[in-house]
């Protein structure tokens, strides 16, 4: 009986390790360069068209950007940040925005992660503070 329990425990341990390894293998490594393209060509151009104000990653610290993205509130809470990364939104502007067209089939969460990597990297206290000029 002890041997059966040991074999069961071993089987369970191996199975759990397999799940953990597959989750790690599936983790997405954000591409800040792709995020920079989307941020500059979609986010910035929209802000210029809507409120005539450009904004840059170096206007906030990393923690402030992270809090903004986690809160998922845009336009003073009137809409969400995530909607501007959706395939539906990109499809709606792709005729007039080359980046939206280029990233039309990119999974929403990958694009969010890419932009987050760019703005965190370019934040006021980031590795490479960035403006949008």
Q: How many whole angstroms from its chain centre is CA 30? A: 7
**Do 7 and 45 touch, CB atoms closer than 8 A?**
no
Per-residue pLDDT tens for 32-70? 999 999 999 999 988 888 888 888 999 999 999 999 999
The ranges assigned to domains in the chain are 32-121
Separation between Cα atoms, residue 29 and residue 52, nearest integer Å: 33
Percent of the chain with pLDDT over 90: 63
Per-residue model confidence (pLDDT) at position 21: 46
Per-residue model confidence (pLDDT) at position 53: 84
What does pTM read for this prediction? 0.76
Where do the H-state alpha helices sit in 27-107?
32-38, 44-51, 62-71, 87-93, 98-102
């Amino acid at each position: 009986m002890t041997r059966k329990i040991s074999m069961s425990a071993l089987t369970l341990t191996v199975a759990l390790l397999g799940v953990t390894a597959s989750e790690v293998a599936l983790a997405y490594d954000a591409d800040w360069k792709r995020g920079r393209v989307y941020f500059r060509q979609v986010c910035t151009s929209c802000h210029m068209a809507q409120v005539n104000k450009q904004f840059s990653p170096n206007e906030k610290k990393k923690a402030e950007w992270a809090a903004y993205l986690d809160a998922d509130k845009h336009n003073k809470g009137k809409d969400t940040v995530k909607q501007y990364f959706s395939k539906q939104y990109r499809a709606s502007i792709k005729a007039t925005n080359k980046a939206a067209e280029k990233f039309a089939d990119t999974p929403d969460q990958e694009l969010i992660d890419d932009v987050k990597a760019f703005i965190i990297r370019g934040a006021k206290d980031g590795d490479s503070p960035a403006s949008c000029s």
